[in-house]
Amino acid sequence: MKLPPDFRRRVLAREWLCGTFLNVGSAITVEIAGLAGFDWLLIDHEHGPGGQDTLLHQLHAAAATPAFPIVRIAWNEMPRFKRALDMGACGVMVPYVNSGDETRAAVSAMRYPPHGKRGVAKFNRGAGFGGDFEEYYAHANERLVTVIQIETPEAVANIDEIAAVEGADVLFVGPTDLSYNMGIRDQLESPQFVATLQKVSDAAKRHHKAAGILVHNAALVPKCRDLGYTFVALGSDGGAVRTGLLGFVQALRGK
């Protein structure tokens, strides 16, 4: 498997890159989303119902599209990185990162020695089952994308320390968790929350990283862009299916 050679460079250049979340555990919706024109896809294995076998099929589906597949693992634990990367994920999103030390641990789990602690195995899907291992090993550290989630006031307080870690490519706000942990749940347009978003974005810019966020309301996309966010996801496959089905029911019932 060949890692896209320029996607990480585009992330760090702060290009506008559009994504969506895939949280129903379906390979079919991964393929639909990838063919829809998104730059990147987030396959959610933190809150999504999928397991290891599901992830393999989802990554197979993503490979049939031009989109860049990123897997959100359930926790910042080294074995979870190895499983996702060996299956062929091109990036990993790490939830609930709160400090520079936790960020360094995540980056280390993403990278082969001597720059990290990722276990080396030649026979895996990511390395073309051994056929592409030398090329994969030579370029994995520079081409894989590490997305660090900012979801607590502690993470915001440590944002410069987190952003300064080489290899932490995207500082990605989880708006639901962050707003709940700030005690202003779902108040995503409140002055306090907007100021926090700006603080994260400013730190990303200072340290030459990208700022990312998930939004569920299309009206918030230009506002996030104005705040300096460039790695932005809108909605999810589950949300799109539910919204579509509710619309069908309303139409059929004449409401």
Annotated catalytic residues are: 47
Report residue 5 as tokens.
């050679």
State the Cα–Cα distance between residues 178 and 180, nearest whole angstrom. 5
The sign of the dihedral angle between the CA atoms of 202, 207, 208, 211 is negative
8 A C-beta contact, residue 187 and residue 179: yes
Which residues contact residue 229 at a Cβ distance below 8 angstroms, ignoring those fewer than 6 apart?
197, 201, 211, 212, 213
State the Cα–Cα distance between residues 140 and 4, nearest whole angstrom. 10
Report residue 3 as tokens.
């890692």
Q: Can the peptide bond before residue 114 be classed as cis, meaning omega within 30 degrees of 0?
A: yes
From 185, 182, 195, 186, select the one nearest 155 (Cα to Cα): 182
Report residue 251 as tokens.
């139409």
